[in-house]
Structure 1
């Protein structure tokens, strides 16, 4: 079988999705190279034949560090491609955001995978004004670079519509994120070592696991903990990191809450236990990012059969997914009493909760690693 010579994958933070994509190209290229600042495998490791070039890791702990690590990674990517891989085909992921600028300085052919639409996301989150010169310049670069790309892919139809401002949307391929049912599966609470370690295996657990960033209204979990502080059977759990982690710690301490715990990012091998330990999983997107992304944990929660407590705009990509798959219920950030009622009903009505559990497990069969082959 004929193989093309060389492909370079660019992703500052690479996880299981990137590993599956690289694996899908195994029979297409003689040599595969990954440029990344952080590689986080799960049950499937990166093929040993893939060469890895290290970038500066992405640091989201502050705005300055986020910008600094983005620019630092971009400069090294540019150097490596221009001087070490000038003839390779490129598979560019929108992390760091400046990755789409690489073809400005190189003659390589390239594909683009857009997880986050830039500079749109930077405007949405208030980093830049829409009419600023840098945004206008960036948008013009997008139009030029997207037009020349061999293939453009993204993860939701809403993002495809947003990208249409830069390129004919018929050129944009939608490939949903996927999960892996061989790594993630339901684990009974009686066998869940994570819950036992924290002595909460006998609780009804409402969990948020993920980034606590500006786009995530995670304070709703604190408000819920206040509502249920006299209920000893319901427990709230925050796991992750990000801009708002310290803020959440302070709120918990300030309110002297005993029915909620906040934990930092857990080891990847713990993920099957943390996700399956939740009776309900809070998944959120703010108004700013509603049509720009779906948190990848949504698909992982399908594999463990955890129903979704979705706090998001009704017309968001996340809300549409939850509604279409019938794996949870959708609320606005202001619907506190409705969320309280949903938690109480889920706690006392097994059939009600099991309906969403079963639907989540069924949905996982529609989002498998086979999706990675759609990028070829």
Structure 2
């Protein structure tokens, strides 16, 4: 089978969509799926092209059965609504140029990852010419996120954009997503039931597990065995609402054994660091994104994991960082509304994590204090069992390949 993975994000990006795309593309050839990736140079979450990469067209073959085609794009140093639109549009146009050179390849499936929906017309046109099946995989409802964060005005513009989104989604053979709530959102947008496909994010539960020894890392980072380490790791962007973490650090400033670590990069990092400095917080440490090899130790080292989002975002985006937190049996504090996927999981699996309403700092701080009083070095077995049974990477990817085969060979 010939498969095209079409996405603006790809490895070696360490967070979010790029990480999952990289793992998927690397796994597919061994399962009989020759894979071509159409992507951009890595830039996320720092919003700058990573060292060792040029913002130009390039093609590499990192392993047998895998080809990675990178295409230039505009990367703004300061992200605004207008600049983000230019950013997405630039990749759509440059990658369409790449598609035109690949007309004769005759892929069986083209798999477009949203974001960015800007590429959808080009993916559909290419598939029509080549006779390929199409899948729109929704990692993030970018239209919902845009309006939910107030990055665009409402009213007639929203109606127009939503109509275009609905039109494009319904032109794909399948629409997949990472959670049942997001599939339900696709239904509300008019995608018929027979087109929907569940393809969740995953964790390598054999690599990320609770039996990792993290004592050496804890000591090298300057933490004592009896310190309580509260960790946020991931993108530092506007939609996370990370000010609440600094409010919690301030509330716990008189507990010297409680240490906060914020690991990551993003457009909001500098603002957060300035805010922490202005608040006089000596119990908060910022670190850059860490190598993947250290991730299991970092996750095991933490006593409490924070999964933080603003109100109105959690139903559109299922946080990718949560999969590995569950895999290590971590004790997590999650901000999400009850009706979201995260709320439903918390209700279905009591004890998997602590759930509080977004942007409620008093409840957030109270819940954090409650978790800190528990034996946080003990494995959260509810979380670990959920990860092994539901989001093991081998199981999820093999099931996806079976879905691909069924789509391609369907009469």
| TM-score, normalising length: structure 2 | 0.79
- For the 8 Å contact 1:308–1:322, the answer to whether it is kept is no
Q: Secondary structure at the match of 1:241?
A: coil
Residue-by-residue CA offset, 1:115-172 (whole Å, 9 max, x unaligned): 1124222222222234345x55544443343333222111112211221213213421
- For the 8 Å contact 2:205–2:387, the answer to whether it is kept is yes
Alignment of 1:1-376 (within 5 A): 4=1, 6-14=2-10, 15-22=18-25, 23-24=27-28, 26-29=30-33, 31-38=34-41, 47-56=63-72, 59=75, 62-63=79-80, 65-85=83-103, 87-88=106-107, 89-103=109-123, 105-106=125-126, 107=128, 108=130, 109=132, 110-133=134-157, 135-164=158-187, 165-186=189-210, 187-191=212-216, 193=217, 195-202=218-225, 203-325=227-349, 326-333=351-358, 335-350=360-375, 353=376, 357-365=380-388, 366-369=390-393, 370-375=395-400, 376=404
Q: Distance in 1 between matches of 2:391 and 2:267?
A: 30
- For the 8 Å contact 1:10–1:35, the answer to whether it is kept is yes
| Long gaps (5+) in structure 2 | 11-17, 44-60, 405-411
- For the 8 Å contact 2:8–2:116, the answer to whether it is kept is yes
- For the 8 Å contact 1:103–1:145, the answer to whether it is kept is no
Question: Structure 1 pair 20/251, CA: closer, same or farther in 2 (3 Å)?
Answer: closer
- For the 8 Å contact 1:275–1:304, the answer to whether it is kept is yes
Q: Distance in 1 between matches of 2:114 and 2:262?
A: 28
Q: Secondary structure at the match of 1:295?
A: coil
Q: CA deviation at 1:321?
A: 2.4
Q: CA deviation at 1:189?
A: 4.1
Work out the number of aligned pairs and report it: 362
Q: CA deviation at 1:337?
A: 4.2
Q: Distance in 2 between matches of 1:46 and 1:276?
A: 31
Residue-by-residue CA offset, 1:208-248 (whole Å, 9 max, x unaligned): 11112222121111111111111111111111122321121
Q: CA deviation at 1:37?
A: 2.0
Q: Secondary structure at the match of 1:288?
A: coil
Q: CA deviation at 1:362?
A: 1.2
- For the 8 Å contact 1:117–1:163, the answer to whether it is kept is no
Question: Structure 1 pair 52/296, CA: closer, same or farther in 2 (3 Å)?
Answer: same
| TM-score, normalising length: structure 1 | 0.86
| Long gaps (5+) in structure 1 | none
Match of 2:46 in 1: none
Q: Secondary structure at the match of 2:234?
A: strand
Question: Structure 1 pair 55/196, CA: closer, same or farther in 2 (3 Å)?
Answer: farther
Match of 2:407 in 1: none
Residue-by-residue CA offset, 1:312-346 (whole Å, 9 max, x unaligned): 22222223223433222111245444444433343
Question: Structure 1 pair 291/337, CA: closer, same or farther in 2 (3 Å)?
Answer: closer
Q: Distance in 1 between matches of 2:22 and 2:265?
A: 23
Q: Distance in 2 between matches of 1:229 and 1:62?
A: 33
Question: Structure 1 pair 26/90, CA: closer, same or farther in 2 (3 Å)?
Answer: farther
- For the 8 Å contact 1:20–1:372, the answer to whether it is kept is no
